[in-house]
């Protein structure tokens, strides 16, 4: 750990100018997401989800983006997890994507709503059978006595569903959609003088682009 202060990487692969940026942030996100996919970065759909807990502290954890549609960013989780409790108390969140291979970060903030049951059904049934069973097994975010507890529940749940072709969607599992009101695209540049373009939504639905100091 001695050399931490000397770890230093210059960012010089790309730039983000007002001329290059798309006027619509979701289209700009689509361009960068495709480039992240093409560049082979690990788990390009992984992002940090920040929420506000009951006592006002920020909470953050890694999640996987599963769709961008109806003007929002969709992810799936357990509706009784800590993050779900946070979102019930404060239905707002920030998502932060890091695509290090491209020296890029995207931060997205806005209100969060549950997706419809039909949308959750559709995604749930597209998952591998084992993952569907996993959703039944884990009381996400609850303290459990041991690893054995989960293994035992897995065996019991597999047995319960062994004759069922279709695993039902658990009532405590589903998706959320974050509808952005702000999206910031950050492109690493030399000498720590990075490009930052912030898209903010006006009441009439128009997006304004502001350059922020790095
Ligand atoms: C790469 C990666 C992807 C993850 N994707 C998800 C996800 O899509 N949904 C989810 O509920 N948890 C996901 N997790 C687990 C969460 O980070 C977290 O541990 C879990 O959701 C419980 O969070 P909470 O107690 O704050 O509710 C992922 C973790 C990692 C490292």
User: pLDDT tens-digit profile of 22-63?
Assistant: 999 999 999 999 999 999 999 999 999 999 999 999 999 999
pLDDT of res. 53: 98
Mean pLDDT computed over 105-133 = 98
CA of 48 to the centre of ligand 1 (A): 9
pLDDT of res. 168: 97
Alpha carbons 15 and 190: distance in angstroms, whole number: 10
pLDDT of res. 84: 98
Q: Which helix (DSSP H) or strand (DSSP E) does residue 117 occupy?
A: helix 117-126
User: 3-class SS at 102?
Assistant: helix
Cβ pair 84, 78 in contact under 8 A: yes
DSSP 53: -
Cβ pair 209, 201 in contact under 8 A: no
pLDDT of res. 140: 97
pLDDT of res. 43: 97
| 192 given a catalytic annotation | yes
pLDDT of res. 132: 97
For a ligand 1 pocket test, name from 47, 48, 49, 63 the mutation site with the most ligand atoms within 8 angstroms of its C-beta: 63
pLDDT of res. 21: 97
DSSP 54: T
Contacts 24+ apart (CB under 8 A), 190-196: 190/10, 190/11, 190/12, 191/10, 194/11, 195/15, 195/16, 195/17
pLDDT of res. 1: 81
Alpha carbons 11 and 6: distance in angstroms, whole number: 16
Residue 52 has phi, psi (to 5 degrees) of: -110, 125
Residues 6+ apart with CB under 8 A from 3: none
Please tell me the residue having the least CA distance from ligand 1 atom 3: 63
Cβ pair 107, 186 in contact under 8 A: yes
Q: Which of 120, 94, 60 is nearest to 179 (CA)?
A: 94
Distance, first Cα to last Cα, the chain: 27
pLDDT of res. 182: 98
Tell me the torsion sign for CA atoms 109, 180, 178, 113: positive
Tens-place pLDDT, residues 121-142: 999 999 999 999 999 999 999 9
Beta bridge partners of 78: 173
CA of 62 to the centre of ligand 1 (A): 5
The confidence band for 156, taking pLDDT boundaries of 50, 70 and 90, is very high
The confidence band for 100, taking pLDDT boundaries of 50, 70 and 90, is very high
Structural domains in the chain plus CATH codes: 9-127+171-211 (2.30.110.10)
pLDDT of res. 2: 78
Predicted confidence (pLDDT) at residue 66 exceeds the cutoff of 90: yes
Predicted confidence (pLDDT) at residue 162 exceeds the cutoff of 90: yes
pLDDT of res. 108: 98
Tens-place pLDDT, residues 75-99: 999 999 999 999 999 999 999 999 9
Alpha carbons 207 and 28: distance in angstroms, whole number: 12
pLDDT of res. 16: 98
DSSP 56: S
Q: Quick one: which atom of ligand 1 is closest to the CA of 62?
A: 17
């Amino acid at each position: 750990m001695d050399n931490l202060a000397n770890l230093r990487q210059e960012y010089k692969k790309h730039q983000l100018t007002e001329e290059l940026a798309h006027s619509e942030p979701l289209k700009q996100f689509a361009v960068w997401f495709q480039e992240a996919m093409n560049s082979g970065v690990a788990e390009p759909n992984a992002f940090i989800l920040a929420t506000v807990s009951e006592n006002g502290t920020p909470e953050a954890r890694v999640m996987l983006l599963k769709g961008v549609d109806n003007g929002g960013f969709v992810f799936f989780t357990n509706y009784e997890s800590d993050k779900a409790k946070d979102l019930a108390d404060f239905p707002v969140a920030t998502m932060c994507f890091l695509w290090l291979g491209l020296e890029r970060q995207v931060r997205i903030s806005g209100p969060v709503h549950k997706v419809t049951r039909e949308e959750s059904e559709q995604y749930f049934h597209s998952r591998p059978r084992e993952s569907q069973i996993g959703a039944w097994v884990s009381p996400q975010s609850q303290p459990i006595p041991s690893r054995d507890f989960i293994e035992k529940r897995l065996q019991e749940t597999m047995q319960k569903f062994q004759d069922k072709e279709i695993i039902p969607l658990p009532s405590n599992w589903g998706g959320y959609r974050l509808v952005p009101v702000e999206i910031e695209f950050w492109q690493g540049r030399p000498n720590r003088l990075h490009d930052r373009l912030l898209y903010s939504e006006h009441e009439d639905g128009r997006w304004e682009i502001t350059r922020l100091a790095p």
